[in-house]
Amino acid sequence: MKTVYLDSAATTQVRKEVIQDMQDVLEHSYGNPSSTHAFGRASKSIIETTRKAIAKELNASPQEIIFTSGGTEADNMILRCAARDANVTTIITSPIEHHAVLHTVEELRNEYDVTVEYVKLQECGTPDYQDLERLLSANTERKLVSLMHVNNEVGNLLDLDKVSSLCKANNALFHSDTVQSIGHYKWDVQETPIDFMTAAAHKFHGPKGIGFAYIRKSNNLKPLIFGGTQERGFRAGTEPVHNIKGLETAFVMAYANLEEEKTYVEGLKDYFKTEIAKAIPKVKFNGNCSDNSKSTYTLLNVCLPMSVEKALTLQFQLDLKGIACSKGSACQSGSGKGSHVLEQILNEEDRQKPSIRFSFCKYNTKEEIDYVIGVLKEFVEK
């Protein structure tokens, strides 16, 4: 059976070079990084080399990079520590953030009596920047804004410079879940004065189970996990050196090949957009995903014209044809619940129709896209 993987926003295929480097570490660099003998020092060197490589690309200091198990842990760590240590009494976020943020801020509301405010959304799902300014200037309470750079379901891009400027003008902290954009966009944390960022290696052709938090050094947060001196005492636990090496290789290669791969993947997205509009004229594009200046080049979220009854079997039919894609976010796809993002931005009629997220990477081809669109057209017209 032909198989096509168009779900890179959920997780990406690991680069061969990443696998090779991880295997080499597993075979030869197995010392505990906290040990002082040569085996331990060799492992520690791998970790610090990775930290420096990330910091250099982001224009950050190595001490501002903390390795985590991925984006969810990093989001939890930052939000919890900010509520506990940075005198944050109000968190401003949006109703279409990843649940790693939404569920965490609700817990913080209960645990720390933090006020949680939700910025209004424009019709397309982008935060209303005027409303954000209103919330920031409403009082003198210490605030933290948590807004993702790239929405993981519809691909909308946040204006980071605008939000960071608003936060700075109102003495607020700014956290952005950048899991969908690290490895896909250039960064300079000195030009864009963001306080906290999060990343996961498996979103840019690295391994699962490893990511990092960027924590600006002026924010004196205390550890969340205790029991050891790893990560400068901020996150206890023996580091997974092979995963960290895989993160480094994937990260360095993502930026070394960024322009070439971005051009190629953006071309695939544009081709998909053009061809599906020809094949299924009543198709709709959710959020800003059809506008490359306002959305990421890596994904499209489409609303297909079909009845509710027919829509129930669409994902099953696509799977039968070997096509991997997502209905809503992959993190909730097994829950049976609808997408909280689409619930916020689609009208009642379109919420009854199936919306599918197709996300692209360097390993996809136009031939695969032709196959997928053919399958979709046949199903819609059946």
Q: Is the pLDDT of residue 309 over 90?
A: no
Greater model confidence, 315 or 209: 209
Which residue is catalytic, options 124, 289, 303, 331?
331
What percentage of the chain has pLDDT greater than the value 90?
Answer: 92
**Full-model pTM:** 0.95
Mean pLDDT calculated for residue range 30-40 = 97
Q: Is the pLDDT of residue 331 over 70?
A: no
**pLDDT tens profile 200-224:** 999 999 999 999 999 999 898 999 9
- Contacts of residue 87, defined as CB under 8 A and 6 or more positions apart, other chains included, come to 142
pLDDT of residue 96: 97
Q: How confident is the model at residue 312 (pLDDT cuts 50, 70, 90)?
A: confident
Mean pLDDT calculated for residue range 156-163 = 97
Domain boundaries, the chain: 4-12+258-381, 16-256
Q: Please indicate whether residue 331 is annotated as part of the active site.
A: yes
- Please give the Cα distance from 259 to 248 (Å, whole number): 19
**Strand pairing partners for 324?**
5
Lowest mean pLDDT across 92-106, 281-295, 311-325: 311-325
Mean pLDDT calculated for residue range 348-361 = 94
CATH 3.40.50.300 fits 4-12+258-381, yes or no: no
Q: What average pLDDT does the chain have?
A: 95
Mean pLDDT calculated for residue range 306-315 = 87
**Strand ranges for the chain from DSSP E:** 4-5, 65-68, 90-93, 115-118, 143-146, 173-177, 196-200, 211-215, 284-285, 299-303, 323-324, 355-359
Q: Is the pLDDT of residue 182 over 70?
A: yes
pLDDT of residue 328: 60
Q: Is the pLDDT of residue 197 over 60?
A: yes
CATH node for 16-256: 3.40.640.10
Q: Is the pLDDT of residue 334 over 60?
A: no
CB-hemisphere CA count at 13 Å for 72?
8
Q: How confident is the model at residue 308 (pLDDT cuts 50, 70, 90)?
A: confident
Q: Is the pLDDT of residue 332 over 80?
A: no
pLDDT of residue 300: 97
- Please give the Cα distance from 289 to 286 (Å, whole number): 6
**pLDDT tens profile 48-100:** 999 999 999 999 999 999 999 999 999 999 999 999 999 999 999 999 999 99
